[in-house]
């Protein structure tokens, strides 16, 4: 009986010597990957919800909503401790896509603020073609044309005050020449 207890003690010493460090390493992994990485991502919780709720807080996005029937919003998150970018895209006139991008700091799913100057990009779709075995629509586009690319927040303010008339900043849109298939192409973009 004494030998049996001695053998159990002798066996348990190396098991404990190996087991305790393994438990320590396992606990460290759980803490690091569970808390540090998991809780670190709390900073991005609510980003896409803010895209849905925050239009009223991002003035150029709200203005685009007022002017264009098909306006979509999303947030691009670029990593921990970095700035997120608000994207607003409007499809209009049967041939144009207006994109506004502005850096934002998001505090929650309902609160955020603009942290930089918005930039506006206007593209003109020249033609739609279908590609791939599933026939997805693609577009031949022209960026910039004869207008400044990107154009500024000051230029956007003029366009907004003019009710969406881009000619106030020297951009003459083709309002009576929709591109066949434009709506299909626009709908192929994420909402």
pLDDT in tens, 3-15: 666 565 556 566 5
Residue 25 in this model has a pLDDT that exceeds 70: no
> Where is 155: in which H helix or E strand?
helix 153-161
Structure confidence at residue 157 (pLDDT): 96
Structure confidence at residue 5 (pLDDT): 63
- On average, the pLDDT of the chain sits at 76
Sequence-distant (6+) residues with CB within 8 A of 181 are 128, 130, 137
CA distances from 100 to 5, 25, 26, 62, 85 (A): 76, 48, 46, 11, 10
* Chain segment 62-77, per-residue pLDDT in tens: 999 999 999 998 888 7
Highest mean pLDDT among 25-39, 50-64, 153-167: 153-167
Q: Are 103 and 82 in contact (CB under 8 A)?
A: no
* Position 89 confidence tier, pLDDT thresholds 50, 70, 90: very high
183 vs 1, residue with greater confidence: 183
Query: How many CB atoms are located within 10 Å of the residue 49 CB?
Result: 14
Supply the pTM of this predicted model: 0.70
């Amino acid at each position: 009986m004494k030998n049996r207890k001695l053998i159990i003690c002798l066996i348990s010493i190396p098991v404990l010597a190996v087991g305790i460090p393994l438990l320590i390493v396992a606990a460290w992994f759980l803490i690091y990957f569970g808390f540090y990485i998991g809780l670190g991502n709390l900073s991005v919780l609510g980003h896409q919800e803010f895209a849905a709720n925050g239009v009223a807080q991002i003035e150029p996005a709200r203005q685009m909503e007022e002017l264009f029937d098909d306006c979509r919003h999303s947030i691009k998150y670029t990593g921990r401790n970095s700035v997120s970018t608000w994207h607003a895209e409007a499809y209009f006139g049967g041939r144009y896509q207006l994109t506004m991008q502005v850096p934002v700091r998001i505090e929650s799913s309902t609160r955020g603020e603009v942290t930089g100057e918005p930039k506006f990009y206007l593209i003109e779709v020249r033609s739609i073609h279908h590609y791939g075995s599933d026939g997805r629509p693609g577009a031949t586009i022209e960026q910039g044309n004869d207008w400044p690319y990107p154009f500024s927040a000051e230029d956007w303010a003029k366009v907004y005050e003019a009710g969406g008339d881009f000619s106030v900043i020297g951009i003459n849109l083709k309002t009576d020449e929709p591109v066949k298939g434009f709506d299909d192409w626009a709908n192929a973009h994420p909402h």
